[in-house]
Amino acid sequence: MRNVILKDGTEVPQLGQGTWYMGESSRKYAGELEALRWGIDHGMTLIDTAEMYGEGASEELIGEAIQPYDREKLFLVSKVYPWNAGRRNIFDSCEASLERLGTDYLDLYLLHWPGSIPLAETVACMEKLKAQGKIRRWGVSNFDTYDMQELYSVKGGENCMVNQVLYHLGSRGVEYELLPWMQERGITMMAYCPLAQAGRLRRELLNSPVLKQIAEAHDCDVLQILLAFTMIRDNVISIPKASSAVHVKANREAAEIVLTAEECALLDQAFPAPTHKVRLDMQ
């Protein structure tokens, strides 16, 4: 599997594991546990979660899943609610996430989306958490270009490592302005929902003749091509959610697919990136 190099020089897998809605159903719990461990065993050691996901249930699931593994070989990401991202609550929030995960540090801690607490305060708190050894690096999520510009205007804002945003073949708005802005500053993009969510857009993608043609050429399915598309750039990490080992295996196989220039051109023609600024997608 290819790696992505963060701007502090840390290498992380380009394909990780998302966990939104995981850990919330006792009926699915065993299968989700197996899925996470299968992914870890096959190099998908970056695992993303948030205090929001099941109000901690996802973190607890991950905490159990990682018990047999060497912590230093994992890359754990969690996110703090915007209203908890100030000096009053962030230290307790981080400690609660650590406790649920059964670890004493996070590899990456993200502000889940922009909120009302001043970014200068949040950044100062993130830097303090780093100094305490509770987190090793920090970043943001769902930040558009103007949010990133505001972040960079405050002291320490340039220490942001990652911006996690919605990104897939049918939602390419970040390519117009946000992604180039981040690339210039060495900020890695982490793509959530890389397989698109349910609904009309997902059906359109799954039924696309172009995607079917490319999938057939690679002897795989359309979802694997969708996932491979998000990883054609070397500074983008993709974090699909998979609740079963079968789906994790399919995702892992997608990380080995290399799309040709001709195939990328076909995808650009069928699902073009916007030629103007569009609103950042969050669902």
**pLDDT at residue 142, as a whole number:** 98
Please count the residues of the chain: 283
H helices present in 4-56, as ranges: 29-41
Q: Is the pLDDT confidence value at 210 over 80?
A: yes
AA letter at 172: R
Q: Quick one: pLDDT band at residue 265, thresholds 50, 70, 90?
A: very high
Q: How far apart are alpha carbons 192 and 171 in whole angstroms?
A: 11
Other Cβ atoms within 10 Å of 128 Cβ, number? 14
Asked if pLDDT for residue 208 goes beyond 80, the answer is yes
pLDDT at 179: 98
Averaged pLDDT, 79-85 = 98
Q: Is the pLDDT of residue 281 over 90?
A: no
Q: Which of 21, 53, 81, 152 is catalytic?
A: 53
The tens digit of pLDDT for each residue in 127-180 reads: 999 999 999 999 999 999 999 999 999 999 999 999 999 999 999 999 999 999
pLDDT in tens, 89-131: 999 999 999 999 999 999 999 999 999 999 999 999 999 999 9
- Whose CA is closest to 209, among 225, 233, 196, 197? 225
Residue 282's pLDDT is what?
A: 82
What's the rounded Cα separation, in Å, for the pair 237 and 109?
Answer: 15
Q: Is residue 187 within 8 Å of 155, Cβ to Cβ?
A: no
pLDDT of residue 176: 97
Q: Domain limits of the chain?
A: 10-195+234-243
CA distances in angstroms from 261 to 81, 214, 232, 265, listed in the order given = 40, 12, 10, 6
Q: Which CATH number fits domain 10-195+234-243: 3.20.20.100, 2.60.40.150, 1.10.3720.10, 3.30.465.10?
A: 3.20.20.100
What would the mean pLDDT of 14-42 be, rounded to a whole number? 97
Residues 6+ apart with CB under 8 A from 271: 169, 170, 172, 205, 208
Q: Is 53 assigned a catalytic role?
A: yes
